[in-house]
Amino acid sequence: MFRYTEYPPKGYRVRVSTYWWTSRWAYVKFILRELSSIFVAWFVLETLLQIHALIGGPAAYGDFWAFLRKPVVIALNVISLFFVLLHAVTWFNLAPKAIVFRLRGKRLPSLAIAAPNYVAWVVASVVVAWLVLRG
């Protein structure tokens, strides 16, 4: 009887190198996109530290800002911003690959399908910035 397995059953298989993804730029981009999740998790951790500091009172909150001003943390956050932007752009650009719209028999261009995502992104960013910065 056949049983469902998440990977092929044992048998002859060619061993693929751990670095298989270095052979092509498209594969490197794929791995970079997948690695963005680490920086998403780092952002959540940073936010939880901030909430913890907020609970701790003004002195603890001041210490948290001193931590964020450390050059190592700034450098890590610059890299994080690069990766979360990569995630955002690749995520928004997925929509046209999943949805095919036809208008008068012609396929709607990818840009027209991805555009609403970018509009939502700008609106969300402006609302968050306004709420935080209005003072």
Binding residues for another protein, rule: CB under 8 A, are: 4, 6-7, 16, 18, 21, 31, 34-38, 40-41, 43-48, 50-52, 54-55, 58, 61-62, 65, 68-69, 73-74, 77-78, 80-81, 84-85, 87-88, 91-92, 117, 120-121, 124-125, 128-129, 131-133, 135
d(CA 111, CA 108): 8
User: Which residue, 48 or 112, is less far from another protein as judged by CB?
Assistant: 48
Are 21 and 28 in contact by the 8 Å Cβ rule? The answer is yes
- Least separation in angstroms between CB 11 and another protein: 14
Residue 29 carries which side chain, given as an amino acid letter?
Answer: K
Helix axes 25-56, 71-92, angle to 10 degrees: 120
Q: Which is nearer to another protein, 8 or 105 (CB)?
A: 8
Handedness of CA 111, 114, 118, 123 (dihedral sign): positive
From the CB of 105, what's the least distance to another protein, in Å?
31
Is the Cβ of residue 54 or residue 108 nearer to another protein in the bound state?
Answer: 54
- Closest distance to another protein from the beta carbon of 29 (Å): 13
Give the residue from 49, 79, 51 showing the smallest Cα distance to 67: 49
- State the minimum distance, in angstroms, from the CB of residue 106 to another protein: 29
Q: Which is nearer to another protein, 103 or 132 (CB)?
A: 132
| 11 Ramachandran zone, left/alpha/beta (phi>0; psi -120 to 50) | left
